[in-house]
Amino acid sequence: MWLLKLAWKNLWRNRSRTLVTQSAISFAVLLSVTTSSLQDGVFDHFVRNMVSYYSGYIQVHKVGYWEQQILDNAAVRNTAVESVIANHPDVNALASRIESYALASVDEITKGCVVIGVEPDAEPQITQLDQRVASGRYFEHNDQRPVALLSEGLAKRLQLPVGDTVILISQGYHGAMAAGKYRVIGLVRFGSPELNDQVLYLPLPVAQAFFSAENLVTSYVLSLATDKNLERTAASIHRSIGQEYEVMTWKEMMPEVDQHIQTDKGTMYIISGILYLLIGFGIFGTLLMLMAERKYELGMLVAIGMKKQKLMVVLLIESVLNVVVGCVAGMLASVPVVWYLHVHPIRFSGELAEAYQRFGFEPVFPASTDGWLFVVQGIVVLAMGFLLSLYPLLKVWRLDVVTAMRK
């Protein structure tokens, strides 16, 4: 106990030196937490943007549909299964869809398109489809009229304004002939050129009637509160609804996007490693300064009879106190910084912003407020501080009293 008291008194005997050491550690934690929160926030924002376009976090299909995406592999709509999925604790929203291909025709112009039947009330909870309407209006509540929403690119290719009529021709369920005409009530704008040039939306009952696929759906699309437990949630839903359905995460449906994110994360890990190296040098530099200032003091203590082992314990306690206080202060200081960057994210402008917007992504870098970020980064810097604290112990162990006391 007396060693702890001695270490505490030693810390505040030279306040400026102690504050410099603790400030260096605090700044290291602040920098580490802010960088990591921005890194996680950027990737989370990217994923949210991507899944909110079309795929959702998870999709449920009849087994075999994903390998051969045809109407004959559609599933009979099952309210019991829908209830099980919707009541899962990790699921925020559920929307049913029926999807296939068709030819869209206006006068002498004919273009291929993807026809997606959506639930007018449920779909906006997944993809914010109602907010993407650039002109005209969205579907009405439980709409069952022969109306359609066209992507802007497709409407431009068909030279089709809002209020005009589009004719659709396709093959329906079990080879039935599908044909119908639909009034265009709105145009939707997507950042993705692929979606913007080929998508046409119908109310789900209207699309089912068009494809002669009453009460059939090709997919259930799910929105989650977070993707932190994505695979575990998918596995849990799969166990709940049985083996006749396949449950796929966005990573399985779009593996190339997941690989791109993992590659970017690998690059960020390298940058984080360099950051930790700089942080380590900063803390070590502070310890070098501390030992240089206390060289005479340490030599004097050994000269008057204090054992090196006890002196090493005192220095270790001092280092632990410095590191712990510095880490706690850094974590507390990082909270308002991260919160500010979360509420007021970094926004890009100019050509970079235009490039992001062309592909439907907001040109912003928000910070993540995940509590584990603060804990993990604090522990990492804490471990670095403890490891570097071995340097003063080594210096004391190898201390030459005569050399240390020579001024």
What is the b/e burial string over 112-128, where b = at least 16 CB atoms within 10 angstroms of the residue's CB? ebbbbbbbbebbbbbbe
pLDDT tens digits, 141-191: 888 899 999 999 999 999 999 999 999 999 999 888 999 999 999 999 876
The answer to pTM > 0.85 is no
State the pLDDT at residue 361.
61
pLDDT tens digits, 56-109: 889 999 999 999 989 999 999 988 999 999 999 999 999 999 999 999 999 889
State the pLDDT at residue 358.
60
Looking at the structure, tell me whether residues 80 and 192 fall in a common domain.
yes
Looking at the structure, tell me whether residues 264 and 218 fall in a common domain.
no
State the pLDDT at residue 347.
78
Q: Are 369 and 338 in contact (CB under 8 A)?
A: yes
Pair of tokens at residue 110: 């004919």
Question: Using CA atoms, how far apart are residues 231 and 249, in angstroms rounded to an integer?
Answer: 7
Structural domain count, the chain: 2
Q: Are 228 and 237 in contact (CB under 8 A)?
A: no
Q: Are 137 and 185 in contact (CB under 8 A)?
A: yes
Q: Angle CA(206)–CA(211)–CA(213) in degrees, nearest 5?
A: 90
- Percentage of the chain exceeding pLDDT 70: 91
Looking at the structure, tell me whether residues 37 and 133 fall in a common domain.
no
Number of neighbours of residue 88 by Cβ within 10 angstroms? 17
Question: Using CA atoms, how far apart are residues 243 and 81, in angstroms rounded to an integer?
Answer: 12
Looking at the structure, tell me whether residues 74 and 212 fall in a common domain.
yes
Looking at the structure, tell me whether residues 90 and 210 fall in a common domain.
yes
Looking at the structure, tell me whether residues 145 and 193 fall in a common domain.
yes
Looking at the structure, tell me whether residues 194 and 242 fall in a common domain.
yes
Looking at the structure, tell me whether residues 241 and 272 fall in a common domain.
no
Domain final residue, candidates 253, 272, 305: 253
Looking at the structure, tell me whether residues 66 and 213 fall in a common domain.
yes
Domain final residue, candidates 223, 253, 283: 253
Tell me the residue range of the domain where 264 lies.
2-51+258-405
Looking at the structure, tell me whether residues 67 and 121 fall in a common domain.
yes
**Average pLDDT over all residues of the chain:** 83
pLDDT tens digits, 19-68: 877 787 788 788 888 888 888 887 777 777 777 777 888 999 999 999 99
Looking at the structure, tell me whether residues 189 and 272 fall in a common domain.
no
Looking at the structure, tell me whether residues 230 and 350 fall in a common domain.
no
Look at residues 219, 221, 247 and name the one whose alpha carbon lies nearest to residue 86.
Answer: 221
Domain final residue, candidates 220, 237, 253: 253
State the pLDDT at residue 362.
63
Contact partners, residue 383, CB within 8 Å, separation at least 6: none
Report which of residues 189 and 119 the model is more confident about.
Answer: 119
Q: Looking at the predicted structure, is the pLDDT value of residue 220 above 90?
A: yes
